[in-house]
Structure 1
Amino acid sequence: MFPFPIGWIPFTEFIQAQYYNAWLGPANWIGKNILSIPYEITILPNGSGDTTFNYVLIFIFLVIAVAGTIVWIILDSKRTHYEKLWYWFIVVLRYYLGVVLLAYGFVKIIQTQFPAPSLETMLQSYGESTPMKLLWTFMGYSKEYNFFIGLTEATSGMLLFFRRTRLLGALLSIAVMSNVVVLNFCYDVPVKLLSTHLLVISVILLLLDIKRLVAFFILNKTVAPVPVQSVYRKPWEKTLYIAAKVVFIGGFLLIYIGQGVMRQAQLSQSTENGTALYGIYDVQEFILNGDTLPPVTTDTRRWKRMYIRSAESVDIQYMDGASIRWTCQIDTVHHAINLASMGAAVGTLYNYEVSHNTMIMTGGEPRTMITFLVKKHDNFPLLNGQFNWINEYPNNR
């Protein structure tokens, strides 16, 4: 969990980065001399939580934990219990798991973790996608399913913040995280280590009541409630504790909501809100210098498809399958598009006319004049599918 909550609080990411940088040297030495890793470890946490660095770091922590436990037992062999240490250990587990589940819950509720499938994804075949991409497309298709899963994660996280609802939060967290772990392993999502640890933490929180659960659900016995003892000695301690909890939980809620709103704004700017011409266009007719080029799959000049991603970016796919990203400037008042290769200062100006889903573009130098007719590709069954109460036949195609 360390250095939590550093890295989760805004403006503390650089401290977290320095923490991981400090482990890079030891990780490389242990990886080379003990684990016999034949290559240098250079990749630090970058969105993938299953890098070589992560696995070596887990190994280091395991060795430190085992060695520390042995030394602790020897030096403190006369102590009969660790009730206070165990109490705060459970508190830290509850709050860490609660914060992480809140984070994952809100990015699904606001649908920024699994955004709706892009038009580019619509043209990608199942066979061309990776297992992780397939999962992201499946999850992103339904806003309602995103909301359901996100609400379940966020609810389990909120329940873990309170001692009276800790068991219910642990049960719900195990249900949620078991599914997440299986998805990560089966679809090769590089969050296997983190999700597995979150599931283990959920199980630890459940084990506090394992005897009561077995007696109630399996042995059919009456189970007495667990007394919730006050941890406050003075009234002001309770007030301070409640205020700190409100600030902690409320602060993270504001952070996640704010981040979600900002991310949603970024996504909308990069899609159809970025330009009225957003979409994928199939090139139906391509005229170069007065000659109509047939759609031959080996042609490296004729365009096959144009994907207007935003008001600044266009992807051009050629007949041979090659795809190149261009920068663009779109003038919707004068119906003009300026296309330039990435990094180029000067581009090519095209005038366009739009009629329904069809657009005619003309531009280029007089000796390389290009005119082509494109039709907007928007007939996707996945995007046009609707919910039906009655299905006379399964619509599985």
Structure 2
Amino acid sequence: MPENTAIRSSWFNKFFECLFLYVALVSGLYMAISTFFYKYFSSFDNSKHVKYFLYAGGFFLLLAVAYSIYWHRKEKSSGFNSGIRHAWFRGVMRYFIAYEIAVYGFAKILQTQFSRVYSRDDIPVGDLTGFELTWNYFGHSYTFAVILGLLQIGGSIMLLFRRTTLLGACILLPVMVNIVLLNIFYEISNGAFVNSLIFTAGLSYIIILRWADLKILLFQKVDHLPPVKLGFLKPIIKVMTIAFAFYSLYRLVVAEPPSAFEGKWKIYELTQNGKDNTRRDWQTNPRAWHTIYIEQHGELNFSSNPFIFEREQAWHGSYTYNAPNKTLNIIFYNGPQTDTTKVKISGYTGKMMQWDMIYYADTIRMKLLKAGK
């Protein structure tokens, strides 16, 4: 059969494929140099990498514009094989994305990504950066990391074959969109963010090329079941399905609005029966409280440890607030008594307040200062 050379495409398709070819070539060159000339490369100033990439990027951007315009014009000429150019350029795109994403997949399985950092184990969660939180979360379960890695590797393998390219792109695109969002909102490194954008753009382009086929799959009615005839009730039921889902949660928010007292409160002064309690025995006395954590939904915790929250040593309870009397009614879950303890609140300013309570035969006064925001 004669080769089909009558393929037509938009100028943007040609420009995007030319530009992606530059990205693939630069990335491949970067990987080759860093692998085979590691000693020289490791001592090379990283700022120079960025400078050279930008200089070369500007040149190749102009080159991509010029060549895509030339290609688009020549495509109208008889005998110009536009199809083989698309085949090469899209082939490079598929193989480049497959290689790069597979690298990240193997990194998860071989634990070079999400590896444990022992010093990070002793950093309070509130002090962790977005990057550290993300790595701790995904590194908590090796099985989960392996599943993510296998998805990336499996999708990458599918990209290598034309018959399964669309399926591979559909598997990888949701993964990459999630990674892009993590990179943005958890402030992962700039390099990882740029890479994720490049891979996501390439996968989106591959899927858009098959949009005509996808429209049939996604939007065309293919089942042969008879329609359920409900008349005007059908659109009402559709709206009510989503509306009721919203209301089922909204009513809880209205029923339990956030308390003005929610937050972490440091006890900067505690007196017991009129005497100052220095609370130096906090390691052995669970009632030598230093911090009170007032949580959502009427929960609170009393911690004697002034440095960290120890779940096993803390006192846990629930509370209700009587606004007219400015009184908290507390029930301790693990204290020595289950009776309601009444706490009189005074001097509340949003940042400071005073608690007066009687617990057993002890009269306790605590002055609290809100920590953090």
Which structure's residues are more often helix, by fraction? 2
TM-score normalised according to structure 1 size:
0.44
Rg larger in 1 or in 2?
A: 2
